[in-house]
Amino acid sequence: MEGVRWAFRCGSWSPTRAEWLLAARCVQREEKERIGQFVFAKDAKSAMAGRLLIRKLVSEKMGIVWDQIRLERTARGKPVVANPIADAGHQRWSFNVSHQGDYAVLAAAPGLQVGTDIMKTTRPGAASIPEFFRLMSRQFTEHEWKTIRATGSEWEQLHMFYRHWALKESFIKAIGTGLGFDLQRIDFHISPMLIQKGEVYSETRMHLDGEEEEDWIFEECLLDQHHHVAVALGPGGPAGEREHRQPGLSASLPLRFTVLSFSELVAGAVPLSEEDPAYWESFQKKQEAPKRQTAQS
């Protein structure tokens, strides 16, 4: 199965003036303005990387020239391509972006519903891990909590918690229902229990309302020891049409994420506007992240 898995490490990106101003020129004006409103540099960098990842995908895979790409947002805030696909040789791709911790990631595929989520395993701020789990008790099923608590040490339990969370979010983002979906309806059966960096796994199964969903595949991987990524792949394209199970979906080899450099991220980019020196000056004044988050990183 054809597809794309890209990641960009925002956490270690300290953009130069030239890089930040080039990035700002290569996204739409309203997105540039929205990114500029973030209080913290970490959030601005993640959002910028996400927009560039989407434009790179649309340019390279959907055959739309970079400076002609028009991205809009659905009522739920999900980015969509507004351009008509005139060339019959180019399929409509479903794509999803997530950013959390030190990375922004994009997963995409033609003819499928796609959702992705990345979670960084960090200790909860004010609460102990048992108290944190108590506060989050309604987010997972009894089976899922049994899996989480059987993992081992508190840190291992926390890692398994975020692994489940990424899986749930990837599915919710794929179907596009937003916050109103009852997470108790979905029950993940994790396999294998331990995953290793550099490998991609697709054995985990999802039960929806008590029945196993054979039409859905979940890819899981670790970008590093702290960052877990889940990709949900289901029948039906971006328009959400329900289709028959695609032959070979379950048999396809899961795809590894390619971590892009900044030069790779903007390869083929075409500026949409003139350089704006004030945008760099504003970015320089931003604190990198809230102090509590910085202490945990």
Q: Are 28 and 272 in contact (CB under 8 A)?
A: yes
pLDDT in tens, 158-201: 999 999 999 999 999 999 876 678 889 999 999 999 999 999 99
Q: How far apart are CA 152 and CA 134, in angstroms?
A: 17
Asked whether the whole model's pTM tops 0.85, one would answer: yes
CA atoms lying within 13 Å on the CB side of residue 9: 10
- Res 296 pLDDT > 50: no
Confidence of residue 13 (pLDDT cuts 50, 70, 90): very high
- DSSP alpha helix (H) spans, the chain: 17-25, 29-36, 41-61, 129-135, 142-149, 154-175, 262-265, 277-284, 291-296
Closest among 269, 257, 229 to 48, alpha carbons compared = 269
Confidence of residue 240 (pLDDT cuts 50, 70, 90): very low
pLDDT in tens, 256-291: 999 999 999 999 999 999 999 999 999 999 999 887
Strands 71-73 and 79-81: antiparallel
- Res 294 pLDDT > 70: no
Q: How far apart are CA 56 and CA 48, in angstroms?
A: 12
Confidence of residue 255 (pLDDT cuts 50, 70, 90): very high
Alpha carbon distance, N-terminus to C-terminus of the chain: 36
**What is the distance, to the nearest Å, from the Cα of residue 269 to the centroid of all Cα atoms in its chain?**
21
pLDDT in tens, 66-117: 999 999 888 777 888 988 764 445 567 899 999 999 999 999 999 899 999 9
Cis amide leading into 192 (omega within 30):
yes
pLDDT in tens, 227-236: 999 999 999 7
- Res 28 pLDDT > 60: yes
Question: Domains plus CATH for the chain?
Answer: 4-288 (3.90.470.20)
Confidence of residue 63 (pLDDT cuts 50, 70, 90): confident
The pair of structure tokens assigned to 229 is: 């990524």
Phi/psi for 165 (5° steps) reads: -60, -45
| Percent of the chain's residues with pLDDT above 70 | 89
Confidence of residue 297 (pLDDT cuts 50, 70, 90): very low
Confidence of residue 222 (pLDDT cuts 50, 70, 90): very high
